[in-house]
């Protein structure tokens, strides 16, 4: 039984050595990001992959897993089961981020392969202008690898062959290299095809820098496509739909956010109601405004009228008797100009005149009585 366990352990260890593959050393600048590819065998396509941080495999700590993303966003992981490569990305690099393992869950023992990051505050000893490059089918792709050492330069594809010297081929694609510029290793891949997409790296000694190439179809906007077929279907629950287009026997898959649409005719009814309401409001406002103006005109007319009041009091006196002395006073009309205002009806001036001679002595019964008359004249 013990011998069986020992054999199983040795088999697992030997199997783990070849289960994954990746770069060995990568020179990077502090504060930047780096993506590292990890190749695995087809039999592990459904296993959980992860990135483990630490120098020793047995005591390293999980940084991120394919089934458990990192909430902080410092570590990212993706799995391309078709090419059998999972990729880990480390952001905001520091001098403490140096030792890592590409790991596979495989009971009873996990498998892992070690790589080291050489984090520097200055210029890395080996770097490229862009870690991800896009090319088009049938055209050439050029990669510039900057280096500071004088060692032998290589252009390799992950877990496959590589090219040294001035020319060679990788998977049937012609590769030429030259170093005409100082400290620049230039690689040109001619007539690339879709199958050339994938991870490569520039290598100088034991230091590598990974580069991911994407080869896609280039569309000519001046050429009319011979055949276009569009098929779309909704994906329940996520509000998206997928569109597949056949363009010159090349299939494009587009994922677009589904947006609800409605016909413009639906807006006609509410807009009509709104228009009627506006017309009614304007009509009511016009009527109220007209009444207000009329009321203000009437008030102005009333203010312009001038009214004069006169008070006439009647004084009772005894009727004159025979033999009483009567004195008459003459009332002369006094002319007055009429006001120019059309609202004034008439002005009236009251003139009272009386000349009463009173007897100095007390009147006796039967004695003479003096009566005074007053004439009221209207002045026009």
- For the cut 50, the answer to whether the pLDDT of residue 100 exceeds it is yes
58 or 356: which carries more pLDDT confidence? 58
Q: Tell me the pLDDT band of 325, cut-offs 50, 70 and 90.
A: low
DSSP string, 121-152: SS--SEEES-SEEEEETTS-EEEEEEESS-S-
Residue 345 to residues 97, 141, 335, 363, Cα–Cα distance (Å): 109, 109, 16, 47
Torsion sign, CA atoms 354, 359, 362, 367: negative
Tokens of 174: 């012609």
- For the cut 80, the answer to whether the pLDDT of residue 153 exceeds it is yes
- For the cut 90, the answer to whether the pLDDT of residue 145 exceeds it is yes
Q: Tell me the pLDDT band of 311, cut-offs 50, 70 and 90.
A: low
The pLDDT score that the predictor gives to residue 299 is: 60
For residues 134-157, average pLDDT: 91
- For the cut 80, the answer to whether the pLDDT of residue 306 exceeds it is no
Name the average pLDDT for the chain: 74
Q: In terms of DSSP bridges, do strands 184-189 and 141-147 run parallel, antiparallel, or are they unpaired?
A: antiparallel
Tens-digit pLDDT profile for residues 167-216: 899 989 999 999 888 889 999 999 999 999 999 999 998 899 999 999 99
- For the cut 50, the answer to whether the pLDDT of residue 239 exceeds it is no
The pLDDT score that the predictor gives to residue 243 is: 46
- For the cut 90, the answer to whether the pLDDT of residue 128 exceeds it is yes
Instruction: Reply yes or no: is the peptide bond before residue 111 cis, omega within 30 of 0.
Output: no
Q: In terms of DSSP bridges, do strands 153-157 and 207-216 run parallel, antiparallel, or are they unpaired?
A: unpaired
- For the cut 70, the answer to whether the pLDDT of residue 278 exceeds it is yes
Tens-digit pLDDT profile for residues 80-97: 999 999 999 999 999 989
Q: What percent of the chain has pLDDT over 70?
A: 61
Q: Tell me the pLDDT band of 30, cut-offs 50, 70 and 90.
A: very high
Least confident of 57-66, 102-111, 214-223, 323-332: 323-332
Q: Is the pTM of this model over 0.85?
A: no
Which of 149-158, 253-262, 337-346 ranks highest by mean pLDDT? 149-158
3-class secondary-structure state, position 153: strand
The pLDDT score that the predictor gives to residue 314 is: 52
| Fold topology of 16-120 | Immunoglobulin-like (2.60.40)
- For the cut 70, the answer to whether the pLDDT of residue 163 exceeds it is yes
Tokens of 255: 């994922």
> How many CB atoms neighbour CB 307 within 10 A?
8
| Fold topology of 126-216 | Immunoglobulin-like (2.60.40)
């Amino acid at each position: 039984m013990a011998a069986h366990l020992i054999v199983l352990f040795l088999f697992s260890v030997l199997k783990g050595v070849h289960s994954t593959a990746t770069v060995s050393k990568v020179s990077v600048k502090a504060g930047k990001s780096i993506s590292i590819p990890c190749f695995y065998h087809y039999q592990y396509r459904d296993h959980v992959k992860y990135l483990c941080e630490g120098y020793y495999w047995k005591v390293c700590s999980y940084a991120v897993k394919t089934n458990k993303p990192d909430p902080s966003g410092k570590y990212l992981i993706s799995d391309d089961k078709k090419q059998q490569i999972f990729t880990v990305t480390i952001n905001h690099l520091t001098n403490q981020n140096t030792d890592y393992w590409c790991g596979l869950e495989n009971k009873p023992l996990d498998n892992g392969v070690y790589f080291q990051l050489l984090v520097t505050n200055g210029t890395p000893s080996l770097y490229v202008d862009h870690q991800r490059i896009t090319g088009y089918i049938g055209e050439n792709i050029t990669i510039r690898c900057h280096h500071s050492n004088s060692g032998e330069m290589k252009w390799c594809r992950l877990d496959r062959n590589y090219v040294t010297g001035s020319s060679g081929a990788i998977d049937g694609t012609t590769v030429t290299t030259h170093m005409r510029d100082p400290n620049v290793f230039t690689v040109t891949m001619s007539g690339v095809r879709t199958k050339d997409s994938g991870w490569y790296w520039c290598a100088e000694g034991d230091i590598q820098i990974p580069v991911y190439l994407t080869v896609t179809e280039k569309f000519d906007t001046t050429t009319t496509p011979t055949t276009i077929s569009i098929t779309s279907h909704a994906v329940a629950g996520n509000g998206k739909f997928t569109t597949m287009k056949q363009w010159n026997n090349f299939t494009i898959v587009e994922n677009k956010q589904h947006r609800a649409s409605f016909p413009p005719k639906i807006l006609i009814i509410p807009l009509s109601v709104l228009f009627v309401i506006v017309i009614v409001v304007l009509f009511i406002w016009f009527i109220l405004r007209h009444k207000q103006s009329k009321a203000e005109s009437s008030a102005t007319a009333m203010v312009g009228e001038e009214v004069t009041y006169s008070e006439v009091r009647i004084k009772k006196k005894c009727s004159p008797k025979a033999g009483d002395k009567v004195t008459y006073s003459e009332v002369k009309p006094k002319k007055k100009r009429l006001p120019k205002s059309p609202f004034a009806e008439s002005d009236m001036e009251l003139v009272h005149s009386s000349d009463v001679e009173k007897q100095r002595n007390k009147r006796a019964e039967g004695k003479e009585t003096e009566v005074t008359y007053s004439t009221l004249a209207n002045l026009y």
